[in-house]
A = this chain, B = another copy of it.
Amino acid sequence: MYVVIFRAKTRELDEEYFIVANRMRELAIKQFGCIEFAAVSEGNNEIALSYWPDEASIRDWKSHAEHQIAQQLGRKHWYESYSVQVAQISREYCFPLK
């Protein structure tokens, strides 16, 4: 399994941000095979994790037309800076044990 780690410094977030973010999450999960999505924000720091079965799904999602427009909006309005890291999960464990 792969994870995309999105770390951002946000500017002021307007209503459109939340509409677009929800729409993108829905699209990623319903149409692009995203397995799970988790985001946490504190002040202007955001970490969002999305989980994917393979790198091809991530590439397809990154280059999707509607997502490209959302990325442009993000750079223009909502994000002062961000980084994206793609990583392959080699092991995981949890508490309590499942």
Contact = CB atoms under 8 A, between A and B. Distances in A.
Interface of A: 2-3, 5, 7, 38, 40-42, 45-47, 49, 55, 75, 79, 81-96
The number of times this chain is found in the oligomer is: 2
A28 to B, nearest CB: 18
| Interface SS of A by simple majority | strand
7 contacts: A40-B41, A75-B95, A84-B92, A84-B93, A85-B92, A86-B89, A88-B90
A3 B85 contact: yes
A92 B75 CA distance: 17
Contact of A40 (B46, B81, B90): B46
A41 B38 contact: no
